[in-house]
Structures are given as C-alpha cells and as structure tokens.
Amino acid sequence: MAEKITKRDKDYSQWYLDIVQHAGLAENSDVRGCMVIKPHGFAIWENIQRALDRMFKDTGHVNAYFPLFIPKSFLTKEEEMAEGFAKECAVVTHYRLKTMAGKGVQVDPEAKLEEELIIRPTSETIIWNTYRNWIQSYRDLPLLINQWCNVVRWEMRTRLFLRTAEFLWQEGHTAHATQAEAEEETRKILEVYRSFAEDWMAMPVLTGPKSEGQKFPGAVYTLCIEAMMQDKRALQAGTSHFLGQNFAKAFDVKFQNQAGQLEHAWATSWGVSTRLVGGLIMTHSDDQGLVLPPRLAPIHAVIVPIFRKAEEKAAVCAAAQQLAAAIRSLPPDPWLNYEPWSIKVDDREQYQPGFKFNEWEVKGVPIRVELGPKDLASNACVLARRDLPGKEAKEMGVPLASAPERITTLLKEMQSKLVERARAFRDANTLEVNSYDDFKKKLEEPGGFLWAHWDGTRETENQISQETKATIRCIPFSRAKEPGKCMVTGKPSEGRVVFAKAY
RNA sequence: CGGGGCGUAGCUCAGUUUGGCUAGAGCGCAUGGUUUGGGACCAUGAAGUCGCAGGUUCGAAUCCUGUCGCCCCGACCA
C-alpha cells in the first residue's frame, strides 16, 4: 500500500511532517523537544555546511571551537542578553551521579557545582571572555572566527528542524578595530547568507534590518534574510548582528590603537541553523514529496535499472554502472565547488521499478535515469526531472554517450528554475496595504508579505502583533523612499516595512 | 501553568462502556515461490511483562487509587 503524503492545501503542517518522515530526514526522539536527524536529512545539512564553510573561508574566516558549558555569571555580564535568554536556558547543577542498589542512579547531592553551568544558547559570552586574552593590539584585529556546533534553547513547543530544543548551527564572532569595519562585516555576512540562500538553496530572500523589537538581545542592530514558505508564512533564515562595543565592554576587551590609546573592540555575530533544512523543504517540495535544489541534493541522480531475466539484469546493471562512472568522471565543476557528482545505482532486487521511482521521488532526488532492455537496445536511457509533473518531466531516448552532459545541464537548469519559481510565488503573494482595516483583511486573505507604513515605534509594533499575530519581518534595504503615514497611528513614516505571520 | 486527549507487536490502531475462553487487525519484518517500464501477489512465520505501582475480585488490557510519559489547543517563543 502507498504511504500517503497529506496534500498541502488540506493541512500544510501535516504535509510538512509527512515530508520529513517519508523522506527520512528526521524524527522526534524520546528526549522531549529534541530530534534525531536521519542520514538523508544530515546529508543535506552536510552539504549546507560544506558550501557555507567555503564561503566563510573565502571571506577570511577561520573555524575554532568553544565550550558547550558557560558559567552562569558570564550570562549576566551583558544585561540585555541575560534578559533575552534567561527563560530558555538549560542549567547543569551537579557533576556526578551515584548508583543506588536496585534503584538505578540518582543525582549525588554531595556533587553540587559551586557555580552552575548554562548549556550555551549562543556563545557571545564565553567567546568574548576568551577574546579578552587574545586581543591586545590593533595588530590582533580583525579576529574573524566561526564555529560549527550545537546550542540549546528550551522551547515550549517544537517542530522538526524549525524549532527544536537542541539544534545545530554555525555562529561567527568577529572583533574589529573600528565601528565602520564591524558594520561592514555585518553587511558582508548578510550578503554571504543572501547569496547562499538564493544561489544554493534556490530560496529568494528579503534582506534588511529587523525592527528594534525583533533584534537580537545584546545587539545594536540585527540584519536578517527572510524567506516566504509555500503557505505564505515568513521564515527568518539567517541573522547577522552588529554588536557595537557591548560585549567588549561587558568582558573588558580592549586593544591599543596606533596612537597608543586603549579602545574597546567592535563586535559582530551571525548564524544560520538546521532551520534552513526546514526552509528548504517548505520552499520547494510538493504533494509527491521532497524537492531539492540540485546544488544541495545528497544524490544528484539515481539510475534505476529495469530487468526481468538474469541475463537482462547483468547487461542493464553493467550499463548503469558504466553510466554512473561516466558521470562521476566528468571534470570537476565550480558550480558544485569542484565536489564530485553524486550518482546512485539502485540495483536492489527486492523492489520493483515503480516502487523505486516513488521512493526516490519522495526523497527528492533531482534526476532519475531509467535504463531497461529496450533502452539498451538503442544505446539510450530515459531521464526524469523531479521539479516537473508527470510526462512533462520525462525525456525519452537520451543517448547514453551524451547522457552525462545532458544530466548536468538539466541539474543546472533545475536549480535556476526552482529559484525563479520560488521568487515568482513570493512576488505573487506580496502586496502593499495602506489602511489598518485592509491590513487585517488581507492578512487573512490572501495572506503573504504585506508592505505597509509604520511609525517606527515599538508600541505600535506590539499592538499590531497582538491584534493580528503578524510581525515586522524586515525593513528591506530594497524599499523605496516613500514618505507616508503609519497605518495605525497616522504618524509619519519614511518607507514601508514588511509584515507577515511567521514561523 | 490552564483546558482536552492518549498510552495494547517496530508503526497505525481495534478490544475497555457491560471484568471471563489462546489478546486481535492492517502496515512493516523473516522465509519460500510467482512477479518486475509508476508504490506486485500468494503461502508460511517471528514478534506484545496491554506505560508503571498498588488495590478490588475466583478471575483485570477492561473496575478503583496513585504515578510516569506523550500528543493537541492556549500561554511563551530576540
């Protein structure tokens, strides 16, 4: 029997869960709020990591690793941050268990920590505490460091990939001699995120600062990339923060400038997480299953040999292996960061071809190659691309000799088609509204991104979010200078901001 | 923390109202055979301390008490 995926228009969040489950990306663990990332899901994350890590290195950053545990007192040194994260911190209070005969283990009350340790919700404090020792002179700057790690934020309600108590991410932490340089870094990283989202994930994003109410605790300002999912809700996909001298002051990080004077260093921090995998799913996938942008697909093409008799099998499988080898030996392509093409030959005997077609479709493999006795007779194969429906997707009689080139061409074509389609969807679901009444109406139907005038105050923003559940997602760099009046208070506004319901 | 629901095979669940026979089904899994160009079929088989603890009873998955856990809605979520 077919395992059915709930249709998107019937129940979008159930559809999302079905995709995650049937594509084998992740599952809930027995630990509340924590997920198990399964091999196929982790392979996508590894590809995200690989591409991003390259981009960080290319912009002069290096990787390092800081502790999982943070002394409680560190958190309190930067007040805004303490306030922002206090409610979702896991705390380690003891360092030992003791075994009780027949009763398992219990916490040893003798082993109470003198100072409790927080499990990092983010690492600014421990890192700036360390930077104090690393930074003495302007010659030590800039310090451009990134770490790949896990963090814990004790969430009340979790959703696979989108919000879990523990998640994987990267966090960059840089120190600079001047404000201008730190602000430039903040912008530079946002551009890295934007191009990664659009060129690798095929996920178009808005870029710009967050409102005061939505910024990171401890930041002077926060820049973000913001994407639209297929249910028209917004997803914050990455953030880059200008931290000013807040952490340098909190942790007493000073350097001597060329004039010999002591100054506090300027900071940035920035991160993206496994939430991106959720964004990837919700941007491209359809009612048949996962759809992946080829540049991030763990398997680019799967070859399904079709056979009945033993002698057919031998011939068809040999041809399949040969084709796979031909694709793998194509010259390294900058489009893939010179990584090899990943080709799978599915020669399992216990499943029929139809079953395999469906399985790889659900898993989002961009291209399927069908290779049977009929094809072999004419030295050809059938190609099917994942991003188009039914017969449209099929290309019959592709000569085996030219198939490798054809496949890589198709992959590149799919990549750009996917981002075009996603951009068209976002643009079709973006509108301008001019009155609060219209805003409330359009937010329910049709929904999407609403560009509206806002007076710039936190009070008005809070009022809107309480009354409508919509928040300011971004104050786009791309917005026009357009004097107007706040849709709620009528006070002057210098341009529109983007409102939406968000994940 | 408030409201609601649920714990029975790896998964989804029936059985509980009205206590009783060897605790069931579908999917999945194993073995064998027939199949194989869009989710095949037949046969056989393995698999469950009925969340846990206590109580009532001749007898408890079923009734009572306690307890643990999970899910949904709300509150919360830079």
pLDDT at A27: 87
Nucleotide with smallest C1' distance to residue A313 CA: B36
Name the residue closest to the C1' of B38 by its CA. A354
Query: In this model, does residue A152 exceed pLDDT 60?
Result: yes
Q: Which of A435, A387, A455, A426 shows the shortest CA–CA distance to A206?
A: A426
Q: Are strands A492-493 and A484-485 parallel, antiparallel or unpaired?
A: antiparallel
If pLDDT is split at 50, 70 and 90, which confidence band does A2 have? Answer: very low
A215 touches strand B (CB under 7 A): yes
Query: In this model, does residue A403 exceed pLDDT 70?
Result: yes
Name the residue closest to the C1' of B76 by its CA. A156
Give DSSP secondary structure letters for A365-399.
-SEEEEE-HHHHHTTEEEEEETTS-GGGGEEEEEE
pLDDT above 70: percentage of residues in chain A: 98
pLDDT in tens, A353-386: 999 999 999 999 999 999 999 999 999 999 999 9
Structure token digits, residue A471: 């928040």
Nucleotide with smallest C1' distance to residue A359 CA: B39
Give DSSP secondary structure letters for A269-335.
EEEEETHHHHHHHHHH-BTTB----GGG-S-SEEEEE--SSHHHHHHHHHHHHHHHHHHHTSPP-GG
Highest average pLDDT, of A18-22, A134-138, A149-153, comes from A134-138
Q: Which of residues 326-355 of A touch strand B (CB under 7 A)?
A: 349, 351-355
A3 touches strand B (CB under 7 A): yes
In angstroms, the CA of A274 and the C1' of B25 are apart by 39
Query: In this model, does residue A203 exceed pLDDT 70?
Result: yes
A379 touches strand B (CB under 7 A): no
Query: In this model, does residue A176 exceed pLDDT 50?
Result: yes
Average pLDDT, stretch A246-263?
A: 97
Nucleotide with smallest C1' distance to residue A372 CA: B37
pLDDT above 90: percentage of residues in chain A: 83
Nucleotide with smallest C1' distance to residue A393 CA: B38
ipTM for this model: 0.89
pLDDT in tens, A297-322: 999 999 999 999 888 999 999 999 99
Nucleotide with smallest C1' distance to residue A222 CA: B78
Query: In this model, does residue A346 exceed pLDDT 90?
Result: yes
Per the model's pLDDT, the better-predicted residue between A2 and A51 turns out to be A51
Q: Bridge-partner residues for A398, per DSSP? A: A381
Query: In this model, does residue A145 exceed pLDDT 70?
Result: yes
Whether A80 and A125 have beta carbons less than 8 Å apart is answered as no
pLDDT in tens, A91-104: 899 898 887 765 66
Domains with residue ranges and CATH for chain A: 12-284 (3.30.930.10), 301-410 (3.40.50.800), 430-500 (3.30.110.30)
A214 touches strand B (CB under 7 A): yes
Query: In this model, does residue A470 exceed pLDDT 80?
Result: yes
Q: Which of residues 143-182 of A touch strand B (CB under 7 A)?
A: 153, 155-157, 163
Query: In this model, does residue A172 exceed pLDDT 80?
Result: yes
Query: In this model, does residue A3 exceed pLDDT 80?
Result: no
In angstroms, the CA of A373 and the C1' of B28 are apart by 32
- Three-state DSSP state, A154: coil
If pLDDT is split at 50, 70 and 90, which confidence band does A106 have? Answer: confident
Mean pLDDT of chain A: 94
Per the model's pLDDT, the better-predicted residue between A103 and A75 turns out to be A75
In angstroms, the CA of A30 and the C1' of B51 are apart by 14
Whether A404 and A327 have beta carbons less than 8 Å apart is answered as yes
How crowded is residue A449: how many other Cβ atoms within 10 Å of its Cβ? 23
Largest CA distance in chain A: 84
Q: Which of residues 10-29 of A touch strand B (CB under 7 A)?
A: 28
* Chain B positions with any atom < 7 A from a protein CB: 1, 26-28, 35-40, 69-78
In angstroms, the CA of A103 and the C1' of B64 are apart by 28
A288 touches strand B (CB under 7 A): yes
Structure token digits, residue A55: 């981009």
A256 touches strand B (CB under 7 A): no
Query: In this model, does residue A34 exceed pLDDT 80?
Result: yes
Average pLDDT, stretch A321-335?
A: 97
Measured in whole angstroms, the distance separating CA A101 from the mean position of its chain's CA atoms is 47
Distance CA A104, CA A45 (A): 37
Query: In this model, does residue A1 exceed pLDDT 70?
Result: no
In angstroms, the CA of A466 and the C1' of B4 are apart by 25
- Three-state DSSP state, A343: strand
Nucleotide with smallest C1' distance to residue A351 CA: B36
Name the residue closest to the C1' of B78 by its CA. A216
